[in-house]
């Protein structure tokens, strides 16, 4: 019998304790199967409308009436997880990261680095590329409380 990956630990535990009464191991089963707490990535108003999203690229809260977000039908909110500026920057970063191999090879061929520096050079280039571009950064809020306060005081 094939067991779903998410249940392997539970089944193994139950098999190891099959001679025990359920009541004696139930607390352990609850602990093993409890849902992991998830931090919120969006906030809604009293009417249930999305008012703010935690931008995946900028790592900050943004009010959707101050920052453009693309529509995404498959998401819980109906919006993308990154603002439009974040999507653009993230796409540029990924393209640049994919090109680092070629850049490092070119540096090696031109004598700019030695063979033993390939890995560290590539790692440094990728770290530099992954820096968040601050040039067009939207208005940001660091916490849920500050974004909710800004929403309440926006008029």
Q: Is the pLDDT of residue 124 over 90?
A: yes
116 and 145 together in one domain? yes
Residue-wise pLDDT tens digits, 69-110: 999 999 989 999 999 999 999 999 999 999 999 999 999 999
User: What is the per-residue pLDDT for 38?
Assistant: 54
Question: Which residues pair with residue 71 across a beta bridge?
Answer: 79
Over the chain, what is the mean pLDDT? 90
3-state secondary structure of 88: helix
72 and 118 together in one domain? yes
Whole-prediction pTM: 0.66
Number of separate domains in the chain: 2
Nearest to 61 by CA among 71, 51, 70, 75: 51
Q: Is the pLDDT of residue 39 over 60?
A: yes
| 152: Cβ contacts below 8 Å, ≥ 6 apart | none
28 and 51 together in one domain? no
* Number of neighbouring beta carbons within 10 Å of residue 38: 6
Domain that includes residue 79, residue range: 42-152
Backbone angles phi, psi at 71, to 5 degrees: -80, 145
Identify the band that residue 7 occupies on the pLDDT scale cut at 50, 70 and 90: confident
29 and 62 together in one domain? no
Q: What is d(CA 62, CA 69) in angstroms, rounded to the nearest whole number?
A: 10
10 and 80 together in one domain? no
50 and 23 together in one domain? no
Helices 118-129 + 100-109 axis angle, to 10: 140
């Amino acid at each position: 019998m094939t067991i779903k990956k998410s249940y392997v630990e539970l089944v193994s535990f139950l098999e190891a304790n099959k001679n025990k009464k359920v009541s004696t191991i139930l607390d352990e089963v609850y602990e093993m199967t409890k849902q992991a707490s998830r931090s919120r990535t969006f906030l809604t108003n009293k009417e249930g409308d999305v008012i703010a999203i935690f931008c995946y690229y900028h790592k900050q809260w943004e009010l959707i009436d101050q920052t453009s977000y693309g529509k995404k039908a498959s998401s819980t909110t109906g919006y993308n997880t990154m603002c439009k500026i974040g999507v653009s920057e993230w796409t540029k970063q990924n393209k640049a990261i994919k090109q680092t191999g070629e850049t490092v090879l070119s540096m090696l061929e031109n004598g700019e680095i030695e063979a033993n520096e390939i890995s560290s050079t590539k790692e440094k280039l990728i770290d530099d590329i992954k820096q968040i571009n601050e040039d067009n950064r939207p208005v940001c809020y660091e916490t849920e409380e500050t974004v909710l306060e800004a929403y309440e005081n926006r008029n």
